Homo-oligomer: A and B are copies of this chain.
Amino acid sequence: MKTKIVQFGLGPIGVDCVKLAATKPWAEIVGGVDIDPDKAGKSLTEVAGVPDLDACRIYSDVNELLSEVRPDVVLHTAGSRAAESFAQLTPLLKQGVRVVSSCEELLFPALRAPQETEATDALCREAGAAVLGTGVNPGFVLDVLPICLTGVARSVASIYGERVVNASTRRMPLQRKVGSGMEPDQFRALFREGKAGHAGFQESLALIAHALGWTLGPITETCEPVIADHDIQTDYFKVAKGLTCGLHQIVEAEGEGHAIKLDLKMYLDAQDPHDAVHIEGEPSIKLRIDKGVAGDGATVAAVINAVPRILKAPAGVRLMSELALPCWA
């Protein structure tokens, strides 16, 4: 029996999820959800450009979808906030549907939405449903990968993760998200208001601490603009020297003799993009991925690859640290 899949959210990531899922022999795409009136009512073939999905309708409302289609798994790519995502997903979870989401805060939803997480966990257990947040960052390079490395450690004192992304090679929304072309003070103000910066970064740290059973002090998070030291021209932006060409975001926390620090730079014309993880412990481990794991395409892969694993997981709000080892599916 194929796994019946519904795609919830048909922005660029959601469309790509449909495309990748359509290549999987174990998957059968059965519908979509999007509130955008330009998409609702159309077919997935029309909106995602995937052949043979003309019969897969996009619904504007989850309840309407549920009255006509019974998915096994919903792929959710419609938000970054845990509480909002839980609210969107509740009707599905009540029906025992399993969900894999790219929502950044769902990587560790108890951090910013503890009550909603508890309530959703309870209703999942009652209904046999499960929900998981995953991706590449958050979801892999600065959380899952460091946790995995500690599996061969006798002791762990501290964990440091570093990611440098050359935003020039990435799609337009990412170049905008990192502040390309902004006055530096404007970017700083936006970050303070929660309107700029990389989402889910504290969640990466919180997931590591949770997996290791570490009780740490408060997480501090800073985000500074990277200032262009020369005029930069990308396919989408022109950034004059002295303006913002990206971000440098750091989260850290420590306590009980342990420390975690994650350092993210995403900026235009970044040199030597890479991912790195340093475990200080016994043994210490220094891992490096040259060029890094590129974001969007791999995030879609992480979501699709998690489907067989969320189907086997116990009911509840699940974490990447609890699921089976990540694997291509």
List residues of chain A with CB under 8 Å of any chain B CB.
20, 136, 140, 144-145, 147-148, 150-156, 211-213, 281-283, 285-291, 293-294, 297-302, 304-306, 320-329
Contact = CB atoms under 8 A, between A and B. Distances in A.
A293 to B, nearest CB: 6
B148 A326 contact: yes
Contact of A20 (B154, B320, B328): B154
Contact of A321 (B148, B150, B282, B324): B324
B297 A286 contact: no
A6 to B, nearest CB: 20
Contacts of A290: 286, 288
Indicate the member of A140, A151, A287, A306 with the most B CB atoms within 10 Å. Answer: A151
8 contacts: A150-B328, A151-B305, A152-B326, A153-B328, A155-B328, A281-B328, A285-B293, A323-B324
Contacts of A301: 151-154, 282
B283 A286 contact: no
Given A287-B288, A298-B283, A152 B324 contact: no
